[in-house]
Chain A
Amino acid sequence: MSDNQFYDSLEEEKEPGRTFLDSNELVLNMGPQHPSTHGVLRVILKLDGEKVNGLECVIGYLHRGIEKIAENRTWAQFGPFVDRLDYTAAVSNSMGYCLAVEKLLGVEVPKRAQYLRVILTELCRIASHQVWLGTHVLDIGAVTPLFYAFRDREDILNVFEKYCGARLTTHAFRIGGCRWDAYAGFAEEVLHICDDLGPKIDEYRDLITGNRIWLQRTKNVGYISAEDCVAYSITGPVLRASGVKWDLRKRQPYSSYEDFDFDIPIGTAGDTFDRYMVRVEEMRQSIRIVRQAMEGLMEGPIIAKVPKVIKPPVGEVYVSIEAPKGELGYFLVSDGTAQPYRVRVRPPSFINLQALEKMAKGSLVADVVAIIGTLDIVLGEVDR
């Protein structure tokens, strides 16, 4: 037989109807060590040339067994562990855990502590979004906004450092309120950040948003519809960019969020560009909230009276907050002892990452990196 017939026969063995001109599927491994997977995430891509036919995420490289550790610590001792989940937004995690235990105990946090918590959590949201902005834009190729975003984030981290001694894993809050009051100069520094950050976000906009290369790389990339978002249990800016008006700070307010006037940015197209715009706009809204909270900060105690050894009554509670990555929930089961019986962390990054296959299928290889960046995952939270 001729050469062509011979090669065709080889292909026929694999699948009837194939000829040797059909391309083979290439399996490409975007390994755990990779500059743009934002941590130790392994993605196995099945490519047909440049097009992604299928994708599989392999996670667990950062699994530390935090939920098991929780069962062997006391309720208060588990506080610092929570920071290590989403380590770019440690204050947020702390807020969620403290709110959950306080609900289980039935303690009411004093107003001043609630306002302080809101200020620090919103500053943390800005810091987390700045990390996202810098790294996402860097993956797509623009090297400069990373430095601008991290320069601006330094101011916020300085405030955290002065407040609780740590920049990143802060353990800012305690069960019942805050451990420390606002330090002398806190108000000036925080308001200074609010004033400075507005023009700096405009700088990001000038550098990125209008750039036609950016638009070409992000518009219609990684589309997910609103129905799919709800089916995949996606929350956070990804959900809002697909058009669903859902933000826990507005719909189920906690820690005095109902006192503040702010908007929730909602996207329409559900693509990477809308997610980018939603997060940048969220930064601006966070500045608004921080300003209002600083102005409304009243005098009073900063921590409620909570017993030295925390023994909540028997029962379970699920409390969730709007973390920068999405809905961060804590499902706590108490058996009446000083140690939790079960702590389940509902990780927004883990659940959002499921949709990566749906969003990346059919797009090109270069877009996979953009889509991972736009989901804004932190592997500490995905793997716990």
Chain B
Amino acid sequence: MITSILQYLHSNVTPGEDGSLFWVTVYVLLVFAGISVGVIFMNWFERKVMAHMQVRIGPMRVGPHGLLQPLADALKLIIKEDLMPTNADKIVFWFAPVCVVMTAFCGFIVVPFGRTHAITDMNIGILFMLGVSSVGVLGVIMAGWASNSHYPLMGSLRSGAQMVSYEIAMSMTVVSAVMMTSMATGTGTLSMIGIVQAQLQQRTWFAFSFFPVGLTALGVFAIAMVAETNRAPFDLPEAESELVAGFLTEYSGFRWSLFFLAEYASMMSVSAIATTLWLGGWLRPFPNLLGGKTWDIAFSLVPGITFLLLSALCLFYFTRMPKIRAMRKEALGLAGFGCVLGAIGLVMLLPGVRVRVQDIYWFCIKAGFFMYLYIWYRTTFPRYRFDQLMTIGWKVLLPISIGVVILTAMIGVRHELLALVWR
């Protein structure tokens, strides 16, 4: 049995391609757990980062530096009373959060954390992800409908309209990225792993290729994805100080936490798309330019070193904690957390492990950058009014993204075009 596990670890395809049901299940559970942990971490991270940007410190009480705060919130939400409006459509009311969560998590089937670290590699990967996120819009509209109150209904329709408008601009830029995969070989691919391999082959991340086309495409996608997930500055439908209540109004307790889970999961999903399509997915920086064995080893040490640095930070803060009896549990918790991080870091330095893990690490760093951008936007920008929001979606982003597609297409057939011109 151990030999079969070890043998499997040396495979060079994803379990879906391999056809092994057992490993697919294992990977599904791992991804599901990973996304959930990611959501929990994002909650803590968002509160801390927002707080520090607002000259305060955020949660500090529950767990050392508030690390257990998300768990406390989750527990509270689970034990809350489950309310349903009297005349609400019960089945739809129940199903709406389920729908949103399902679609948000389903997108992760094709997200490649590494060459073999994906549940499967569909050859229509990116199309699948976009399609699944579109189904999520239905969940939003169902939520507003089932609330049996016309303010949440209007809020959900506005939300839905916003998501649909920005999906078009998003899809156009995705088309341009897919076209770029065909620049070297003449055949493109919709498969997520294929897109990253095309970037490896063309020796450049698509964000930097054919400057400024790639960067514009990434920029448009980065703005559209914020609107797609109903986050600031495009969060009018769920803003507290506006009049038309958001679609979430009638949801409380666990159902609300499902929406919240879905929101963060979809944020991570679109960040994953952005990373894969434009920032080189799981590739480490400069895989071709700084190639060779020594560079490979050097870069593969980075994850382990990062975790060791984080653990050093935790232990440093542990030494600075007040040495009073009341803080003993917290101090020990922080020390324990630091030790756990240190242990993970040490494990990641082992040669066998670090080769497998480095892809995941680079992918998460790049996606994490987009998540940080999300938090930064929320802290800094005021909200757009709804008509201004729709104007940007249709009159600004859509023309730019169509222009990007046309430019990419022209670049793709540049030899033929030049031949035409010079004849």
A→B interface (CB under 8 Å): 28, 30, 34-36, 45, 50, 137-144, 146-148, 151, 207-208, 211, 213-214, 216-217, 364-369
Contact = CB atoms under 8 A, between A and B. Distances in A.
Contact of B243 (A138, A216, A368): A368
30 contacts: A28-B244, A30-B243, A50-B387, A139-B241, A140-B382, A140-B383, A141-B233, A141-B239, A141-B241, A141-B382, A141-B384, A142-B380, A143-B54, A144-B54, A144-B379, A208-B382, A211-B380, A211-B382, A213-B382, A213-B383, A214-B382, A216-B384, A216-B385, A217-B383, A217-B384, A217-B385, A365-B242, A366-B242, A367-B385, A369-B242
Interface string B234-267: 0110011111100000000000000000000000
A151 B57 CA distance: 13
A45 B379 CA distance: 30
Contact of B244 (A147, A365, A367): A365
B382 A217 contact: yes
A137 B54 contact: no
B55 A151 contact: yes
B277 to A, nearest CB: 27
B288 interface: no
Q: Secondary structure at chain B's binding surface: helix, strand, loop or mixed? A: loop
A370 to B, nearest CB: 9
Contacts of B386: 50, 364, 366
Interface string B53-66: 11110000000000
B192 interface: no
Given A144-B379, A213-B382, A366 B54 contact: no
B211 interface: no
A213 B243 contact: no
B179 interface: no
B75 to A, nearest CB: 26
Interface in B365-383: 378-383
Contacts of A138: 241
A213 B387 contact: no
Nearest to B154: A26
Interface string B203-243: 00000000000000000000000000000110110011111
Contacts of A144: 53-54, 379-380
Nearest to A221: B385
A199 to B, nearest CB: 14
Given A148-B55, A365-B244, 8 more contacts: A142-B381, A144-B379, A147-B54, A148-B54, A211-B380, A216-B384, A364-B385, A364-B386
A42 B384 CA distance: 24
Interface string B18-59: 000000000000000000000000000000001001111000
Nearest to A150: B55
A142 B382 contact: yes
A36 B385 CA distance: 16
A36 B386 CA distance: 18
Contacts of A207: 380
A211 B233 CA distance: 12
B291 to A, nearest CB: 43
Contacts of A366: 236, 242, 385-386
A36 B241 contact: yes
Which 5 A-B residue pairings sit nearest by Cβ, starting from the closest? A141-B383, A36-B241, A141-B382, A142-B382, A147-B54
A30 B244 CA distance: 10
A305 B233 CA distance: 59
Interface in B351-405: 378-388
A30 B243 CA distance: 7
A246 B164 CA distance: 50
A190 B25 CA distance: 67
B48 to A, nearest CB: 14
A35 B244 CA distance: 13
Residue among A143, A208, A211 with the most chain B CB within 10 A? A143
Contacts of A141: 232-233, 235, 239, 241, 381-384
A214 B385 CA distance: 10
Interface in B180-204: none
Contacts of B232: 141
A211 B242 CA distance: 21
Residue among A213, A364, A367 with the most chain B CB within 10 A? A213
Residue among B53, B232, B243, B384 with the most chain A CB within 10 A? B243
A141 B380 CA distance: 9
A111 B240 CA distance: 49
Contact of B241 (A50, A216, A364, A369): A369
Contacts of A216: 384-385, 388
A34 B244 CA distance: 12
A151 B381 CA distance: 20
A137 B239 CA distance: 13
A213 B234 CA distance: 11
Given A140-B383, A144-B54, A364-B385, A213 B233 contact: yes
Given A141-B381, A148-B55, A364 B233 contact: no
Contacts of A139: 241
Contacts of B55: 147-148, 151
A143 B54 CA distance: 8
A175 B55 CA distance: 40
B382 A365 contact: no
B326 to A, nearest CB: 27
B88 to A, nearest CB: 21
A147 B382 contact: no
B241 A213 contact: no
